[in-house]
Amino acid sequence: MQVIGLTETQEDLLKEYVNVFIGKAANMLSEMANQRILLSVPEVKLVNMAEDAASDSVLTAHGHVVSSSMRFGKSFSGRALLVFPSKKAKVLVDACMGIPYAGDDENDPQDLADTDFDVLKEISNVILNSVVGDFSNLIGTHVDFSIPDVELVFVSKDQQKSYLQDNVYMLTLYTNFLLSEAHVEGVIVIALGVHSLNLLIDKINEILESYNE
């Protein structure tokens, strides 16, 4: 079966599951930060990076971004990324370190220290492992994870497609980190090949069929 997209019904059900997965990740992140952190997913999209001319809308920001990437494998395999504007990175790091919000969301990307990247790696590990793990549990398979790589990169609007790779499907989960006094917008991107995406869609269809019985 060649996947070409999601129907509205499939997308709605997938979003329901994604919000549950994100809620679990938010609870883990809240424990790590010792404060309430909410994660919301207002939008879920499937983008074919090889064909979709609108694929430059996958990322939520241009310029300097903090990108965390990890690979996962076995029968359900791919690459998961957490991407958000670098100017917001310090806000998120400080929240997880218990540092009071200073009201400055326009931090210089060069101000990020090695310790900040360590915290960002842990944040990414919590979120990406939780979300991908829940996807694999939904499908009924097991995945192995790599350690997230966190980097500060400059991505122009024209570079987005090449940065996220061609010829794969991108399941994009647009996220909001809702902190006590600030929020950070970002995106979780799960890159899947046709086989892995079909496993997910077949499961979604199976669940939808059970609703109609």
Q: How far is CA 163 from CA 81, 127, 158, in A?
A: 11, 21, 9
pLDDT tens digits for range 8-19: 899 899 999 998
- Using the predicted structure, report yes or no on whether residue 208 has a pLDDT greater than 90: yes
Q: Which residues of 98-125 are buried (b: 16+ CB within 10 A; e: fewer)?
A: eeeeeeeeebebeebeeebbebbbbbbb
Rounded to two decimals, what is the model's pTM? 0.82
- Using the predicted structure, report yes or no on whether residue 181 has a pLDDT greater than 80: no
Phi-psi map region of 109: left, alpha, beta (phi>0 left; psi -120 to 50 alpha): alpha
Average pLDDT value over all residues in the chain: 80
Q: What is the mean pLDDT of residues 20-48?
A: 83
Q: How confident is the model at residue 213 (pLDDT cuts 50, 70, 90)?
A: low
Phi-psi map region of 183: left, alpha, beta (phi>0 left; psi -120 to 50 alpha): beta
Considering the domain 8-212, what is its CATH architecture? 3-Layer(aba) Sandwich (3.40)
Alpha-carbon gap, residue 60 to 32, rounded angstroms = 25
pLDDT tens digits for range 118-160: 989 988 888 899 999 999 999 999 899 888 888 888 776 665 5
Neighbours of 87 (CB within 10 A): 20
pLDDT at residue number 109: 61
